[in-house]
Chain A
Amino acid sequence: MNDASLWSIFLNSALINNFVLAYFLGICPFFGVSSRLETAVRMGGAVSFVMLVASICAYTINWILAAVDAPYLRIISYILVIASTVQLVEMLIRKLSPATFRAMGIYLPLITTNCAILGLALFQTNRNYDFVQSVVYSLGAGAGFALALILMAGVREKLDLANVPALVKGTAAALVVAGILSMSFMGFAGLGR
């Protein structure tokens, strides 16, 4: 059991230890989908939702695994549950909003290999969060991921118009921007504890 307050867990996962900018989790979609603001917002929403479901599942699985004393099955069962959740979300989005489905393209199934989601499940287990704490943690992580993605997309839309040397264009420029964003997020370090 971890006795951190819910508010500090939320702040911690959303800002201070932002999943993308401090833990480097979910870097691939962060660079892949952040070139346009609109897709970034949708991606942020989808990832937050999967995080919430994965967090609840991970809590349950961990409880079952502890009951049958098989912690070595943790990684395998987490990843399988996450993969099936993503499949479910994919079907749901295709049914409810085909336009969103097309806009997300390949990045929707790739949420499975988004390390932010498996990372979230592992971190909440390592820190012994109880059920409510886990849910709050996942909400904070989702909000932090969406925030980083949207900020990055905003900067990159402007960057497209800037006159950047050919060598730096693309990934290198995006990396420098991410570095500066990450530096500014360090300013939140004094908030929690």
Chain B
Amino acid sequence: MPGKQLTPTDEFVKGLWRENPVFIQVLGMCPALAVSNTAINALTMGLATTFVLVMSGISVSTLRRFIPREARIVSFICIIATFVTVVDYVIQAVSLELSRALGAFIALIVVNCLILGRAEAFASKNTIGRAVLDALGMGVGFTAALLWIGVLREILGAGTLFGVALFPDGFQTWTVMVLPSGGFLAMALWLLLVNWIRDRQEKSAKAAQGVTR
């Protein structure tokens, strides 16, 4: 929001719903679809992305006076790549199994348009405090969106949630949901729901203002 100052709470909350990175801005789709086949993968990916978002937000915001305009994208990418390398090694150290499941997608956080987008559009123009709040909000919104997709795919595709079986033995799993095409379909379903809710909100807001169409 250029020109208009939001309260700190708003800065955080906007990432959760109104400017949700995945469902509203449709940024960072590749990881959102690729690693959301189980809830735990989705959660790890979300947390890793949030960490990189916050750390690069802090760095970019701190250095914003020293980075020349012409070299800003390259500088941002270097900063982001540094933190991604850190996350990659941390996940390998904590859980080798998880690191294998996520594969190259942790390294691919570097090219998540969401992070570069926030660095460019927000952190490079705002104070550290605001940049952190914005990054946290976007990160939580991203994690939540990933988790929704992951939960839907894991429940339908494998009949489990976080590895715990949910259904009695007879449950016929929808194998298609854990396969790549399920990612597209699950995302489309959630997007429909979000669109529908937003549509209703807009209509009721209009009705409240007494505007009839």
Tell whether A178 is near chain B: CB-to-CB under 8 Å: yes
Which residue on chain A has the smallest CB distance to residue B198? A167
Chain A residues with CB below 8 A from B89, complex form: 72
Q: What secondary structure prevails in chain A residues at the interface with B?
A: helix
- Interface 0/1 of A114-136, CB less than 8 Å to B: 11001100110010000000000
Does A26 have its Cβ within 8 Å of any Cβ on chain B?
A: yes
With A119-B104, A183-B176 in contact, do A75 and B30 touch (Cβ < 8 Å)?
Answer: no
From A17-25, A58-66, A91-99, the one touching the partner chain is: A17-25
Do the beta carbons of B104 and A76 come within 8 Å of each other?
no
- Given A75-B88, A172-B191: A122 in contact with B26 (beta carbons within 8 A): no
- What is the CA–CA distance of A31 and B191 in the complex, to the nearest angstrom? 15
Please determine whether A83 and B181 come into contact, CB atoms closer than 8 angstroms.
Answer: no
Please report the C-alpha to C-alpha distance between residue A80 and residue B80 in the assembled complex, in whole angstroms: 12
The verdict on A186 contacting chain B, using a C-beta distance below 8 Å, is: yes
Contact with A along B162-176 (1 / 0, CB 8 A): 000000000000001
Please determine whether B188 and A175 come into contact, CB atoms closer than 8 angstroms.
yes
Q: Once the chains bind, are B184 and A179 in contact (CB under 8 Å)?
A: yes
Contact A80 B111 (CB under 8 A): no
* B184 contacts A175, C-beta separation under 8 Å: yes
A114 and B78 within 8 A (CB): no
Cβ–Cβ < 8 Å partners of B107 in chain A: 75, 118, 122
Q: Please name the residue on chain B nearest to A166 by beta carbon.
A: B199
Q: Is the CB of A182 within 8 A of B188?
A: no
In the complex, how many angstroms separate the beta carbon of A110 from the nearest chain B beta carbon? 8
**How many residues of A sit at the interface, in one of the four size bands?**
35 or more
Count the B residues whose beta carbon is within 8 Å of the partner chain — how many?
41
Give B47-68 interface residues, CB cut-off 8 Å to A: none
A37 within 8 A of B: no
Using Cβ atoms and an 8 Å threshold, which residues of chain A touch B88? 75
Residues of A within 8 A of B144 (CB): none
Mask: chain A, 154-193; 1 = CB below 8 Å from B; 0 = not: 0000000000000110011001101110110010000000
Question: Given A113-B116, A115-B30, A175-B188, 17 more contacts at CB 8 Å?
Answer: A24-B33, A25-B30, A28-B113, A31-B26, A72-B89, A76-B82, A79-B111, A80-B74, A80-B77, A80-B78, A122-B108, A123-B104, A126-B104, A167-B195, A176-B184, A179-B188, A182-B180
Chain A residues in the interface with B (C-beta under 8 A): 21-28, 31, 72, 75-76, 79-80, 83, 110, 112-115, 118-119, 122-123, 126, 167-168, 171-172, 175-176, 178-180, 182-183, 186
